Structure 1
Amino acid sequence: MAEIRIRNTNERIQGDANVSEFLNNQNVIYEKWDMAKLPANLKEKFTLSDEEKAEILSVYDPEIRDLAARRGYQTWDIITLSEATPNLDELLKKFEDVHTHTEDEIRAIVGGRGIFIIKGSDDVGYFDVELEPGDIISVPENVAHFFTLMDNRQIVAVRLFIEKDGWIAYPYADPSFQKS
C-alpha cells in the first residue's frame, strides 16, 4: 500500500482510500495490481533475464493493455534497479533531478520499493509517494517530479510510454525544492 508524506508539514497519509483521494486531488492516477498473479520465482528478484522480464509482462498483459487503451501508451518495458545494476549511483542521479515530461510518467511496481517526489498544488507543495509492489502511479505530463529508490535500493517496475523514444526528461529548476 502506498503512503504519502507531505514535505512541508511532514503529515503522512495512509490507507488506499485516503492515498487515492489525495492523489486524485493532485491529478495523479493511483491504481493497484494483484501481486498474487506474479509467480513466486519472480517475487523479490531484482536481477532478471530477458525471459523473466517477458514473463512479467505476459502475466500482467491484460492490465498493461487496459492502461494502454485508456491512456494511449504505445510501448512498455521492465526496469530493474538494484546493487547489481552497473553504475547504479550515476543512474539514480539522473532520476533524482527534478524534471518534467511531455507525457505522463507511469510506473507499476512489481518488486521492491521506490519513491516519487511530486510537486503538488500550491497549498500542498512537494510530497513523497512511497510505493511498493502492486502500486501503479501516473504523474501527469509537465508536473515537476523525480523518482528514487528506498533504503533497500531495489525495484522492478513496468514502464509505459506514449512516445516511442521512451523516457525523456526536461530539467525543472525550482528554488523552492529542498531534498530531504
Structure 2
Amino acid sequence: MAHIRIRNTNERIENEDQVLEFLTKQNVLYEHWDASKLPEHLHNKFTLSDDDKSAILATYDEEIREIAGRRGYKVWDIVALSENTPNLPEILKKFEQVHTHTEDEVRAITAGRGIFIIKGDEETGYFDVELTVGDVISVPEGQPHFFTLMDNKAIVAVRLFIEPAGWVADPFEDPSFVK
C-alpha cells in the first residue's frame, strides 16, 4: 500500500482511501494489483531471467491488458534493479533528476520498493509516493517527477508505454525543488 509524504509540510498520508483521494486530486493514477498472484519463487527475486520476466508478465496479463486498453498503452516490459545490477549508481543518477515525459510513466511494482517524487499543484508542491508490492502508479505526461529506489535498493516493476521505443526523459529545471 502506497504512502505519501508532502515535502513542504512533512505531512504523511497512509490511509488507502486518503492516498487514492490525494493522488487523484494531483492527477496521478493509483491502483493496486493482487500481489499474492505472483508465484512464490518470484517474491523478492531481483535478478531475473527472461523466463522469470515472462512469468511475471503472464501472471498479470489480465491487469496489464485492462489498463493498457483503458489508457492506450501499447507495449510493456519488466525492469529489475538491485545492488546486483551493473552500474546501479549511474543508472540511479539518470533517474534521480527532475524530468517530464511526452507520455505517462507507469509502474506496477511486483517486488521490492521504490519512490516517485512528483511535483503537485501549487499548494502542495513536491510529494513522495512510497510504493510497495502491488502498487500501480501512472504519473501523467508533462508532470515533473523522478523515481529512485528506497533504502532496500531493490525493485521489480512492470513498465507500460504508448510509444514502442519507450519514453525519453526531458530535464525539468526547477529551483523550487530541494532533495
Contact 2:103–2:167 (Cα < 8 Å) also in 1:
no
1:20 aligns with 2:23: no
CA contact (8 A) 2:4 2:13 kept: yes
SS state at 2:21 partner: helix
Question: What TM-score do you get using the length of structure 1 for normalisation?
Answer: 0.99
* CA distance in 1: counterparts of 2:110 and 2:15, whole angstroms: 19
Structure 1: runs of 5 or more not aligned: none
Letter in 1 for 2:146: F
Task: Report SS of the residue matched to 1:54.
Answer: helix
Deviation at 1:167, TM superposition (A): 2.6
Partners of 2:20 and 2:84 lie apart in 1 by 33
RMSD: 0.4
Alignment partner, residue 154 of structure 2: 154
Matching residue of 1:44: 44
Shift of 1:16: 1.1
The match for 2:169 is 169
Cα distance in structure 2, aligned partners of 1:133 and 1:167? 23
Tell me the distance in 1 between the aligned counterparts of 2:165 and 2:40. Answer: 32
Q: How many residues align?
A: 179
Equivalents in 2 of 1:21, 1:56: separation in Å? Answer: 29
State the secondary structure of the residue aligned to 1:137.
strand
Q: CA deviation at 1:67?
A: 0.7
The percentage of aligned residue pairs carrying the same residue is 68
1:165 is displaced (CA, Å) by 1.0
- 1:131 matched residue in structure 2: 131
Divergent runs of 4+, >3 A: none
Partner of 1:99: 99
The answer to whether the 8 Å contact 2:32/2:135 transfers is: yes
Q: Kindly indicate whether residue 57 of structure 2 is the aligned counterpart of residue 57 of structure 1.
A: yes
Tell me, what secondary structure is at the counterpart of 2:163?
Answer: coil
Tell me the TM-score normalized by structure 2.
Answer: 0.99
- Distance across 2 between alignment mates of 1:144 and 1:40: 36
Structure 2 unaligned runs (5+)?
none
Look up the SS of the partner of 1:83 in the other structure.
Answer: coil
Shift of 1:15: 1.6
